[in-house]
Amino acid sequence: MGGKLSRTGSRGLGLRGLRGLRGLRGLRGLRTRTADLRRRAERTERARAKLDRVTNAAESTRPRLEGWEYVTSGKIRDIYEPSVYSPFSDVILVVTSDRISAYDHVLPTEIPDKGKILTALSVWWFEQLSEIIPNHLISLDVPEPVAGRAMICQRLTMYPVECVARGYLTGSGLAEYEQSGEVTGIELPPGLRDGDRLPAPIFTPATKAPEGAHDENVSFAHVADQLGPDAAAALRATTLALYTRAEEIARGRGLILADTKFEFGRAAANGELTLGDEVLTPDSSRYWDAPTWEPGGPQPSFDKQYVRDWLTRESRWDRVSPPPTLPADVVARTRDRYIEAYERLTGRVFVG
């Protein structure tokens, strides 16, 4: 009787048909899970391949330094720790190379003097912002082979979050806004365009992804859940204070600081919140020329724009295979752009 209730329902299938249907559904679910696992494995393999290329690039340019032992490398920086007695306690040596990255790949071509420019600019900014927060810089008395592009820094326990401040709408923030009207959960007024100034700077943190993987924008609530509400509030307040001061300084020199990224840690000695890593360089920040700023489209920036443009428009690189060698003119223009940013901000002439 039950089998006659419906020709299309499960009862109408009979016991054998029902088992077959369940088996088909199970098979489809298995295929879906298998496909998901395969995609995850492919992403992991791509990230591992990128990390291998980062490591190989670092090994090819990494100097051996007397009194210091190599620890690790990122895309651009090499980290050392003392191998013998140091007059400073609990320090690291941060060496900024001339390597350049794009689209999560370290390129095979270096930009001459880039390491010196980024180091000099970070040191200058540390001085400008010292009244807001202490920083990790201890000394510039470094081994001769890395003079000018290395800093002896206090070792910090770093927070696992990129502290991003945005004063203008562009980049990944623009992409989020166009989809939802928000950036990391922060609602913004309707009708904003690429390059528009925001009503007030906003804190839009991101996860710190492993080398070779993408950072992901997250909400303040996510940071608070991860680190605790007090730590999250301190990071937000300090990030926005630093951005506000830096934006004011940059604007006085004819530059717009559209957005930037800070990294913070706690000092072992007193647990004090401390500014680490690089700060307000063209690699960690988006600078625009104030006199030519025109919202409504992409703005020329003082960073590796020439490199990205050549990679996407002329090289036909697929962003998966190892990246190509940069032409000499792209290298020269990129170097000039970094130098221009340094000289306009600091008022000093760069001597390589």
Q: Is 227 contained in some domain?
A: yes
Residue 6 has a pLDDT of 38
For residues 338 and 251, state if they share a domain: yes
CATH code of the domain in which 213 resides: 3.30.470.20
∠ at Cα 130 (94, 267), nearest 5°?
55
Q: What are 314's two structure tokens?
A: 């002329």
Q: What are 99's two structure tokens?
A: 């390597």
For residues 209 and 339, state if they share a domain: yes
334: exposed, middle or buried (Cβ count in 10 Å: 0-12, 13-18, 19+):
buried
Range of the structural domain that residue 83 is part of:
49-154
For residue 335, give the nearest of 257, 282, 263 by alpha carbon: 282
Last residue of a domain, one of 128, 154, 180: 154
Last residue of a domain, one of 113, 133, 154: 154
pTM of this structure: 0.82
For residues 214 and 339, state if they share a domain: yes
Last residue of a domain, one of 154, 189, 222: 154
Q: Is 187 contained in some domain?
A: no
For residues 161 and 140, state if they share a domain: no
For residues 294 and 238, state if they share a domain: yes
Q: Is 351 contained in some domain?
A: no
Beta bridge partners of 80: 70, 93
Q: Is 149 contained in some domain?
A: yes
Q: Is 118 contained in some domain?
A: yes
For residues 324 and 218, state if they share a domain: yes
Q: Is 31 contained in some domain?
A: no
Q: What is the pLDDT of residues 118-158, one digit of tens each?
A: 999 999 999 999 999 999 999 999 999 999 999 999 999 99
Q: What stretches in the chain show pLDDT beneath 50? A: 1-13, 15, 18, 21, 44, 47, 50-51, 55
The SS3 of residue 89 is coil
Beta bridge partners of 96: 77
Residue 4 has a pLDDT of 35
For residues 259 and 141, state if they share a domain: no
For residues 233 and 340, state if they share a domain: yes
For residues 333 and 215, state if they share a domain: yes
For residues 248 and 287, state if they share a domain: yes
User: What is the number of domains present in the chain?
Assistant: 2
Query: What is the rounded CA–CA span in Å between residue 249 and residue 261?
Result: 16
For residues 294 and 149, state if they share a domain: no
For residues 125 and 236, state if they share a domain: no
Q: Is 96 contained in some domain?
A: yes
Q: Is 8 contained in some domain?
A: no
179: exposed, middle or buried (Cβ count in 10 Å: 0-12, 13-18, 19+):
exposed
Specify the length of the chain in residues: 352
Residue 178 has a pLDDT of 97
CATH code of the domain in which 76 resides: 3.30.200.20
